[in-house]
Amino acid sequence: MILRSAMMGVMAFWSLALGAETLQVSDLEIEGVHVVGSVEVEISQGDENLLLVRGDSDDLSSQPFYTKGNTLILGASQANPGEDFSSVKYKLSVMRLSEIRLSGSGDVFVRPLQVDDIRVTVEGSGDIKLFSVTGDTVRLNVAGSGDVQAAELEAKRLELMVSGSGDVAIGELAADSVEAMVSGSGDISVQSTRRKALSVEFNIVGNGEINLAELDAESAEVNIVGSGDARIGEVGELQANIIGSGDIFYAGTPELDSNVLGSGDLNRRR
């Protein structure tokens, strides 16, 4: 069901010219969101699936959204492919969510989410900002120069991947298992942690950096091919493999199994 009403600027997120209109879309059966182009989207969790689309009448008449399977596409129109909807803004409330994907240079703001499993992906130069995510399995992926930022993240299993020059940045982390991979010049970082991880695996190909120096773990495996650096907290067991000039920084006095081919080094922080 789609409803249209005149709006006069309700919140800063809706800051468009006076007289802009809003489409209200309900009865959506979705579990994923794909944002396309340079639009702005705000996502929150609620007791119903509800989409608000704000823009001028010409943009809204093109219906700049559609569903494909159980995925909602925002920033594109089936009726007018290729049309620019950069001035359109979206607010989406969802009951459950398993995927957020951004393709392009847009911005996606996500309020606190509680999920089972979720994949968050940036393809291009856009940014996804997550306030808080709690789930069993959480996957954060960046392909390109964009960023994924999470202020708070709690998961049993966490997978982080950067391909290109983008970044994944987490404020506070609590996770049992962490896998992080950088291919290129991007970075993965965590500012603080709430508990020790059971297992950690880092893989770097290129000159990127994985900085989880605040995360302690019972066991860790770190593999570097190239000139990248990896930082981990206090570990009980460490398997380290370096090919090239990359460095591994760790804390504690772990049971160590290391192989270095090149000028790379292992450095224990005191």
Q: Can you tell me the mean pLDDT for 39-59?
A: 96
77 and 131 fall within a common domain = no
Whether residue 260 sits in one domain with residue 163: yes
CATH number of domain containing 175: 2.160.20.120
Same domain, 254 and 122: yes
Q: Give the end of a domain, one of 97, 127, 151.
A: 97
- Residue 268 is assigned to a structural domain of this protein: yes
13 pLDDT more than 70: no
Of 68, 97, 126, which residue is a domain's last?
A: 97
The first and second tokens of residue 76, run together, are 């594109």
Q: Confirm whether 105 is domain-assigned.
A: no
Mean pLDDT for the stretch of residues 24-30: 95
Lowest mean pLDDT among 15-24, 99-108, 224-233: 15-24
Strand partners, 150: 130, 170
82 backbone φψ class: left, alpha, beta (φ>0; ψ -120 to 50): left
Tens digits of residue pLDDT in 171-203: 999 999 999 999 999 999 999 999 999 999 999
Asked if residue 181 and residue 78 are part of one domain, the reply reads: no
User: Do 3 and 53 fall within a single domain?
Assistant: yes
Domain total in the chain? 2
The answer to whether residue 12 sits within a structural domain is yes
Pair 75, 39 in one domain: yes
Residues 147, 44 within the same domain: no
pTM above 0.95, yes or no: no
Q: Identify each DSSP E strand in 65-126 by its residue range.
A: 65-68, 71-74, 89-94, 99-103, 107-110, 113-114, 117-124
Greatest CA separation for the chain = 67
Lowest-pLDDT choice from 7-11, 29-33, 92-96, 157-161: 7-11
Q: Are the C-beta atoms of 85 and 59 separated by less than 8 Å?
A: yes
Do residues 116 and 230 both lie within one domain?
yes
Kindly state whether residue 107 falls inside one of the protein's structural domains: no
Q: Do 73 and 203 belong together in one domain?
A: no
Same domain, 161 and 56: no
In DSSP notation, 116-169 reads SEEEEEEEES-EEEEEEEEEEEEEEEEEES-EEEEEEEEEEEEEEEEEES-EEE
Co-location of 139 and 34 in the same domain? no
| Cα–Cα dist 258/54, whole Å | 56
When pLDDT is cut at 50, 70 and 90, the band that residue 11 belongs to is very low
135 lies in some domain:
yes
CA-CA distance, 127 to 149, in Å (whole number)? 8
Which domain-ending residue is among 41, 63, 97? Answer: 97
The least confident of 9-23, 51-65, 90-104 is 9-23
The pLDDT tens digits for 76-102 are 999 888 899 999 999 999 999 999 999
Tell me how long the chain is.
Answer: 270
pLDDT, tens digit, for every residue of 124-144?
A: 999 999 999 999 999 999 999
Do residues 90 and 130 both lie within one domain? Answer: no
C-alpha span between 263 and 192 (Å, rounded): 30
Nearest to 226, CA basis, from 181, 192, 268, 189: 181
Which phi and psi angles does 115 have, rounded to 5°? -135, 170
Residue range(s) defining the domain that contains residue 18: 1-97
